Structure 1
Amino acid sequence: MLPAAYAALECSSPLLFNSPRDFRINSGECAKIRAADHNVHDVASAFADNRSALASNWRIPVRKTKSICPVCHKKIDAELTEVNGKIFLTKTCKEHGTFAAAHWESPCVFKFAEEYDYFKYFGDASFPKNPDGCPYTCFCDKHASSTVIGVIDVTKRCDLRCPVCFATFSGHEVDYEPSKEKIVNMLEFLSNRNPKPPAILFSGGEPLEREDMPEIIAAAHKLRFMTILATNGVKLARSEELVKKLKEKGLNIVYLQFDSFHDEIYEKLRGKKLLQTKMKAIENCRKYDIEVILVNTLVRGVNDAEVGAIIRFAAQNSYIIRGIIFQ
């Protein structure tokens, strides 16, 4: 959950996370989650109350971070601090002074979100010097952004012929499968970037059509990447031994194609009945502690009525299912 994405979140019932920590967020906490609004005309007056609150109340330092000055948009040092049951972001610009804003209104929700914040850069960016706050606040076409997830297509081969997949169109049949050595070169190139992308997503085709996929995962793991595998789940369901080997080699997350709870819908979208295959793949990942992200291809009038059911299923199994991507 990104705090900057929401002005408020109203919950009619508690959110329950089935993990060893048995973490619970009640409806009152959920209703309090808000984002700080930096779109102000009078920056000084907008932050005055927050500066006063910080000066007069007890503070617990949380961690150092980076932010931008809301006036000149330059990158500056910042600090997250707990103040009387809220998380504040404070920052000082040498030119424009100190600013403070409420960042999270629930420390327990903030700490939970922090625990699962995987995507932290392993370095600092060396951006070209461009005007007007670029690249932190602009939308111009001059600045260079960095890679968050490096996506490597390892094959065009696949063991399914999905009617909805563009890769099955005759005009897109491409004989592409880089050698393991070439993929390792790609990984080393990304590892030497500044900032280094924290994660690598192996895609296809179906990556597990390659017998050397565990060794490729191991190469990425050795370079300290978080490893993600996009798969239809067929081979994960068929071979528990393969799942175990992938885990041993360093696989962190599976992006699992998951469209429906009805086999007739899988027949329309994927060409065959796959529900039990998907469930078995999830169960095998659970056994070996590989986290799962469900990836759902929505087709109007076919499976769009199942959005709620898929979200509920993920919430009920949140110890292993860490998220959903609808596309």
Structure 2
Amino acid sequence: VTQGCMEALAFCLQAVTQPGDVVAIERPTYFGIFNLLKNLGLRALEIPTDPDTGPDLDFLRAAISKDQVNAVLFVPSFNNPLGSLMPDGQKKALVEMLAEKQIPLVEDDIYGEMYFGKTRPRTCKSYDTEGLVLYCSSVSKSLAPGYRIGWCIPGRYKKQVLHNKLTHCISSATPTQAAIALFCENGRFDLHLRHLRKALHTQCLRYWQAVKDFFPAETRVSQPQGGYVLWLELPEQVDAFQLFHRAKQHQILIAPGQIFSVAGCYSHHIRLGFGAPYSEEIEKSLNTLGSIIQDMANKPVRDVPRRRLPVVSG
């Protein structure tokens, strides 16, 4: 048991890497991962990721063949910000590929319970036969972030992860663990999850439709099968950082695409969360945001040189 999922990820990465090692991560991915890798002295190899099928395994395989990868950290189910879901076949292929080279996979499954379909997505851990997958999750997204209760199943690296835990904080809050355990045992957690999934799916559809109604016609938006976020590709004239500042003046909060890549890619992409219940106020804000984007799209594209994405950076 850990203090949230990020601590679980940190302990697992410490167990399977040394400073200077290269960790393959998704591109785009949650910006907190960059700080985590930096703090541990690790370098990032960004793997192109598709909104529908997840990370490009051919790209990863090529990097592995060149001995460029020491460990992998992926969010296979409903990656933030893409909301991508790796098909089961891809997950199995990933685990088998890494097993051939004995490369550990740190699996972040924090969004795994937030599925919109009938069944929970399988985990990479479920295909692991050699203890190379270190599974991490928490209740931060499924219940509440303030509880700071996470966990990991570290496979063959259990001894190293326990050592990291004991040297860092010895234990996590026992009363909170007991309360959550009781909530699970009496069936209330399962009931809560069923209501949450239904609400999130409804909100996702309403936010998605609002984007179609209020944003420029050329806007492309993801269609996630779970999670909390939409990923939008805006007209090229729209700089996401400039949009962030203009939207903030109207008390509208978005996440510019550049923060989800080590190299600052996705300059005309944004992440839009749909965790808040849809309301007239939300609809008004999305209408306003769409108007700002349309105004920016009507201006000429700035001649700004594009940076090439480095294969390995840190």
Relative to its length, the structure with more strand (as a share) is 1
Rg (Cα) greater in structure:
1
Task: Choose between structure 1 and 2: higher helix proportion.
Answer: 2
Higher RCO (CA 8 Å, separation ≥ 6 residues): 2
TM-score of the pair, normalised by structure 1 = 0.29
TM-score (norm 2): 0.30
